[in-house]
Amino acid sequence: MSEHEHTKTDGLGEGAPLPGQALAGWRVAPRNERMAAHKIECNACPVLCQISEGKVGACDRYANQAGTLVRVDPVLLLRQRVAEGQGGVVPFLAEGSAAGSADASVEEAAEPTFVTAVGASTTYPDYKPAPFIVSSQVDGVDMVTVVTEGIFSYCSLKVKIDTDRWLGPEQANVRCRGEVVGHVSTAEYGSQMLSLGGVHHITGGSKKEGRITVEMMQTLGNQQAVEFSIDGGAQLRVQAGRAPVVDGVPEQRMRVGCGSATIGIFAQQFAGLVDEVVVVDDHITGVLTEHQAGRCLAMRPSGLQIRGRKSTPGRWFQVANPGTGWGGTDIRDPLSILEPWDAEQAWPGQRLLMVSTTGEHAAWFVLDAALQPQPAPMPPAVQQIVDRVGENCEPSLCTVLFVGGAGGSLRAGVTDNPVRLTRAIKQALVNVTCGGAPAYVWPGGGITVMVDVARMPAGSFGTVPTPAIVAPIEFSMRLADYEALGGHMAYVRPLAQTLATGAWHHEGAPTGRRFVAQPAANPWPLGRLPLLG
């Protein structure tokens, strides 16, 4: 969280309790004297909305319910399985009330349950302990999970788009509703990459740019579709876990490999059926008889000559411009990249296959007496290999990774000595998850986490108008380690108590909870520490 977000909270109240005091020790934030009597102030973020009864704040996440500030969404709790009828919203009880329901929560806590930060609320300012600090036992080990909805100014999305079609020049601006919200990044094998969001677009530009950026990030993070246009490039529709749509056309296949790799994979199958194969690719276009694969198969040089820059034998760069045609190039007519055949080597009747790296484009030619390629029907055996190229392509998908920096605020909610949390994470004593999904923590300084949004519960992301992104984050560790790193031990509460009464703070806390099933692809968040195997 950036420093400027903290300034409005100066003077929270004289005599504000010190970290570690008993639950009841915190004072409610002082009332703004100029505020109308029927309003209450939300202090869950620096915006400090004044909310009328029955209304919600600017982020739609907090409401004035009969004069009480509440977090409107339920907290999501993960279970390996959620039995029928168990997935509804259950209200939390006030501390100490309804012993019968509290007993029920003891029974519930007998089954492994993980309290996620989705809907958990945020305690603000920084030094307040996180809303949920939950203890439980895992394989006889006392564990604790610190749970909060983090507010991230330093955050971005890394988007992988499985296509060899050209989306735009590297570094080109990516726009959403006309605003620049990111750029085209370095392409990866078979995929184009976008870097979206980030602090410069969120807070460094105009108000509109910041607002559209966080809205775009929230929408993509919540696994919904967003339309983009790339300066000097394509129109794009992106949705996590779905095929990208490039210039209105849904992408089908990710290429099997570059042109050279495609030659290498299928050379043996082509031998005897063709005299030459050109695999057209924006990166490396392969020419079979010249390629090491053709040489090893003792194929006769065809005399075919190709435009472009030779890298190594049978591997050609820059045969055309990038585009949305054959193999991610701009060509529509494959013969346009060929020079006349070398008459010394070529022969009439030579059989040539031209194919793209996805098998979506393919053409068969036979040289006539003047060594000119003439289109001809493709033999079934060759068509079968072309089909196999396509079969080996994986479905084209968009993958959206959220990257966020857990700054001072967030860490202070875990411990009164935040650097110890950073160190404990680096020592692999702490498992960091986002909505229960495994998060990769970047090496080096700070706590920069990266998580696949498709593994997170639906609706995990929100925004606040500072502007910033709201995203769930949980830190799980052994209770002894938590104590050693200066954790807020007075706020640790057993799972059963948490299930009964909710967050330790009452103002702005969620009023209900809901069980959701753990996605089968995710490891159980409390089982990844070295000690627990």
Strand-strand pairing, 132-138 and 173-176: unpaired
Q: How far is the CB of 61 from ligand SF4 (least distance, A)?
A: 5
Binding mask 37-76 for ligand SF4 (x = CB under 6 A): -----x-xx-xxx-------xxx-xx--------------
465 binds ligand SF4 (CB under 6 A): yes
3-state secondary structure of 292: helix
CB of 464 to ligand SF4, least distance (A): 4
DSSP result, 409-472: HHHHTTBSSHHHHHHHHHTT-SEEEETTEE-EEPSSSS-EEEEEGGGSPTT--EEETTTEEEEE
Using rule CB under 6 A, residue 464 touches ligand SF4:
yes
Query: Pattern 409-448, binding to ligand SF4, x per CB under 6 A?
Result: ----------------------------------------
Nearer to ligand SF4, 49 or 362 (CB): 49
Q: Is 346 in the site for ligand SF4 (CB under 6 A)?
A: no
Q: Which is nearer to ligand SF4, 42 or 492 (CB)?
A: 42
In sequence order, what E strands does 252-348 have?
A: 276-280, 285-287, 305-306, 309-312, 315-317, 338-339
**Nearer to ligand SF4 among residue 44 and residue 236 (C-beta):** 44
Q: Which residues contact 259 (CB under 8 A, 6 or more apart)?
A: 278, 279, 280, 281, 283, 284, 285, 286, 315, 316, 327, 357
Please identify the residue of the shown chain whose CB is closest to the bound ligand SF4: 57
Instruction: Give whole-number Cα distances, 165 to 48, 322, 336, 388, 393, in Å.
Output: 46, 8, 19, 20, 14
Residue among 108, 248, 203, 144 nearest 490 (CA) = 144
Q: How far is the CB of 52 from ligand SF4 (least distance, A)?
A: 12
- Quote the CA–CA distance of 166 and 59 in Å, as a whole number: 37
**Alpha-carbon separation of residue 268 from 79, 174, 271, 288, 399 (angstroms):** 51, 42, 5, 10, 34
**Residue 475 bridge partners (DSSP):** 146, 432
Residue type, 399: T
- Looking at the Cβ atoms of 301 and 465, the one nearer to ligand SF4 is 465
Q: How far is the CB of 504 from ligand SF4 (least distance, A)?
A: 18
User: Nearest CA to 389 among 204, 262, 522?
Assistant: 262
* Per CB under 6 A, 503 contacts ligand SF4: no
Q: Answer for the pair 77, 115: CB distance below 8 angstroms, yes or no.
A: yes
Q: Which is nearer to ligand SF4, 286 or 462 (CB)?
A: 462
Number of residues that bind ligand SF4 (CB under 6 A): 13
Contact between 130 and ligand SF4 per CB under 6 A: no
Residue span 278-317 as binding mask against ligand SF4, x where in contact by CB under 6 A, dash where not: ----------------------------------------
Least distance from ligand SF4 to the Cβ atom of residue 451, Å: 22
DSSP codes joined into one string, 48-71: --EEETT-B-TTSSEEEETTEEEE
Smallest gap, in angstroms, from Cβ of residue 105 to ligand SF4?
A: 28
> In terms of CB distance, is 145 or 466 closer to ligand SF4?
466
Q: 61 vs 493, which CB is nearer to ligand SF4?
A: 61
Least CB distance from residue 158 to ligand SF4, whole Å?
27
Name the residue nearer to ligand SF4 (CB basis): 356 or 466. Answer: 466
Residues 6+ apart with CB under 8 A from 219: 225, 226
Nearer to ligand SF4, 168 or 508 (CB): 508
Handedness of CA 520, 522, 528, 533 (dihedral sign): positive
CA–CA distance, 359 with 277 (Å, rounded to integer):
13
Task: Report in angstroms how near the CB of residue 330 gets to ligand SF4 at its nearest.
Answer: 47
- Of 210 and 303, the one with the shorter C-beta distance to ligand SF4 is 210
**Residue 136 φ then ψ, to 5°:** -160, 170
Of 46 and 435, nearer to ligand SF4 (C-beta) is: 46
What are the residues binding ligand SF4 (CB under 6 A)?
42, 44-45, 47-49, 57-59, 61-62, 464-465
